[in-house]
């Protein structure tokens, strides 16, 4: 019998139990990490005098062969294997006979699975970071090209104040830079090896968790064996980061949907990054951006699902923890699909700067400039706001834009509105005037562009 726990049972498991209990259908992807852990453990057993030199050599060779078979998709598994650890021990015993059964000494599936999942997460978080950097570079490239391209800046999706399109793109970059920082910070905390924790109480065998941790790329072994097997903070935290990235992507995606609409017409997607309609030949749809919006739901669901699984779970290991893997795999799989598509879409989109520039002053978006001009003249902002509001109301009643109001009309609205107020009623003037750090003016935007590369965390 291939089960790891058959000894005390008088009969095999019911089919219904086997089907429910098995995780092999989704945890085989952890095999490379499980095998790396097994190699480290075999070396430690040898150093402890529990494996002879030839036994160690045979063991390491067999583990390498299993890795090769797994990589080539040539390691068949079945339901009765239960999980990746059972399957690989079966494979080892098939190769080595009784010797294969020696590797389990001092180890439990509880510390194994916690270790495998950590290693998987650390590897794949790096792949996510690479995808994020590509997206940051795509956004930054477009921001560089549109650093001085005026566009309506919006609040409540209404024209608010003119900004540059580059500034808007760099706002998205800031969020992704924080995500990169979150990932490297998360990795530092996740660099703890559960191996040596055993089932929950550590081991009575002379193991070397420090050496195992180092061999597997961890900074240290778990400080507490119960925490070593029961902690899934690392998975939940990673799912928070993937959910946050998903939310950031959804906000960018939503803006792309708006920008590419007929009504905005600010952006056109490259043919390679847009889709068509089966019935309407004219359609060009922003499917990538919509999937970015849509997938945020699953990333948030993955995080929520795992947190609910962990809630109130007593120490140490409980089978509930088997439910930790699918949300992690789901989030990482989908993010790794989404990021390259988003980066490609952003890098190749055409930005219609002339159309954006036409829209920039519409909706009285320069009204704040009048108020600020009055403030510079010594008028309290409260009064400046009132007076400017009266100018806007006048424009609305008379179907005019702000710069179309005559000197006489301005003076009749308020004697404080001297003709030189006109000087600030241009988009370029409004943009150029925004010079303080972080503002949308050309100077601060150039400063932001200069700092993006340095802000990408290396780890």
Catalytic machinery residues? 156, 277
The footprint of ligand ARG (CB under 6 A) covers 23, 27, 83, 109-110, 113, 317, 319, 321-322
User: Between 87 and 136, whose beta carbon lies closer to ligand ARG?
Assistant: 87
Nearer to ligand ARG, 116 or 369 (CB): 116
In the complex, what is the shortest distance from the CB of residue 104 to ligand ARG, in angstroms, rounded to a whole number? 12
Whole-angstrom distance, CA of residue 195 vs CA of residue 106: 9
β-sheet bridge partners, residue 153 = 161
Neighbouring CB atoms inside 10 A of 226's CB total 15
Q: How far is the CB of 19 from ligand ARG (least distance, A)?
A: 14
Q: Is 423 left (phi over 0), alpha (psi -120 to 50) or beta?
A: alpha
Residue placing its CB nearer to ligand ARG in the complex, 81 or 255: 81
Name beta bridge partners: 159.
Answer: 154
Least spacing, CB of residue 24 vs ligand ARG, in Å:
8
Nearest approach in angstroms of CB 231 to ligand ARG is: 13
233 touches 322 (CB < 8 A): no
Whose structure tokens read 């009064």?
Answer: 383
CB of 319 to ligand ARG, least distance (A): 6
d(CA 73, CA 60) in angstroms, rounded, equals 20
- What distance in Å separates the CA atoms of residue 114 and residue 121, rounded to the nearest whole number? 11
Please give the torsion angle defined by the CA atoms of residues 106, 107, 111 and 115, in that order, rounded to the nearest 10 degrees. 110
Q: Which residues contact 341 (CB under 8 A, 6 or more apart)?
A: 273, 288, 291
Taking the CA atoms of 13, 17, 23 and 26 in sequence, report the sign of the dihedral they define: positive
Q: Rank residues 139 and 321 by Cβ distance to ligand ARG and give the closer one.
A: 321
Cβ closer to ligand ARG: 4 or 449? 4
Neighbours of 191 (CB within 10 A): 16
- Residue number, 110 or 146, with CB nearest to ligand ARG: 110
CB of 42 to ligand ARG, least distance (A): 20
For the CB of residue 278, give the shortest distance to ligand ARG in the complex, in Å: 42
Using the minimum distance from each CB to ligand ARG, give the nearer residue, 117 or 129: 117
Looking only at the bridges linking them, the beta strands covering 220-221 and 192-193 are parallel
Task: In whole angstroms, give the CA distance from residue 72 to residue 87.
Answer: 16
Q: Which is nearer to ligand ARG, 27 or 255 (CB)?
A: 27
As measured in angstroms, the least distance from the Cβ of 191 to ligand ARG is: 21
Nearer to ligand ARG among residue 68 and residue 333 (C-beta): 333
Shortest distance, CB of residue 87 to ligand ARG, whole angstroms? 11
């Amino acid at each position: 019998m291939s089960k790891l726990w058959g000894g005390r049972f008088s009969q095999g498991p019911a089919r219904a139990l086997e089907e429910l209990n098995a995780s092999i259908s989704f945890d085989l992807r952890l095999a490379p990490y499980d095998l790396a852990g097994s190699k480290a453990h075999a070396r430690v057993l040898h150093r402890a005098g529990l494996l002879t030199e030839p036994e160690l050599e045979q063991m390491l060779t067999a583990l390498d062969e299993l890795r090769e078979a797994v990589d080539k998709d040539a390691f068949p598994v079945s339901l009765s294997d239960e999980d990746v650890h059972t399957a690989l021990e079966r494979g080892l015993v098939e190769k080595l006979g009784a010797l294969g059964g020696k590797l389990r000494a001092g180890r439990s599936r509880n510390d194994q699975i916690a270790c495998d999942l950590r290693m998987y997460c650390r590897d794949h978080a790096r792949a996510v970071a690479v995808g994020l950097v590509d997206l940051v570079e795509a956004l930054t490239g477009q921001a560089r090209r549109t650093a001085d391209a005026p566009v309506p800046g919006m609040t409540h999706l209404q024209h608010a104040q003119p900004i540059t399109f580059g500034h808007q793109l760099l706002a998205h970059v800031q969020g992704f830079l924080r995500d990169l920082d979150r990932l490297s910070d998360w990795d530092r905390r996740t660099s703890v090896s559960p191996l040596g924790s055993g089932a929950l109480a550590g081991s009575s065998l002379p193991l070397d968790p420090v050496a195992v941790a180092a061999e597997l790329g961890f900074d240290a072994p778990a400080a507490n064996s119960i925490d070593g097997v029961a902690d899934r903070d690392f998975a939940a935290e990673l799912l928070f980061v993937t959910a946050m990235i998903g939310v950031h992507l959804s906000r960018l995606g939503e803006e792309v949907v708006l920008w590419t609409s007929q009504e905005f017409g600010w952006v056109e997607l490259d043919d390679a990054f847009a889709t068509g309609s089966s019935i309407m030949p004219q359609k060009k749809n922003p499917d990538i951006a919509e999937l970015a919006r849509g997938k945020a739901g699953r990333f948030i669901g993955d995080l929520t699902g795992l947190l609910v699984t962990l809630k109130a779970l007593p120490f140490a290991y409980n089978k509930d923890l088997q439910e930790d893997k699918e949300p992690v795999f789901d989030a990482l799989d989908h993010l790794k699909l989404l990021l390259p598509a988003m980066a490609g879409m952003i890098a190749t989109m055409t930005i219609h700067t002339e159309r954006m520039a036409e829209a920039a002053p519409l909706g009285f978006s320069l009204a704040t400039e009048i108020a600020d001009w009055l403030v510079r003249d010594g008028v309290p902002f409260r009064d400046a706001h009132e007076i400017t509001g009266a100018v806007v109301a006048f424009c609305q009643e008379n179907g005019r834009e702000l710069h179309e109001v005559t000197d006489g009309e301005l003076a009749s609205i308020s004697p404080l509105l001297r003709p030189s107020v006109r000087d600030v009623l241009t988009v370029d003037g409004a943009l150029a005037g925004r010079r303080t750090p972080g503002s949308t003016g050309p100077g601060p935007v150039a400063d932001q562009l200069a700092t993006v590369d340095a802000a990408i965390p290396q780890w």
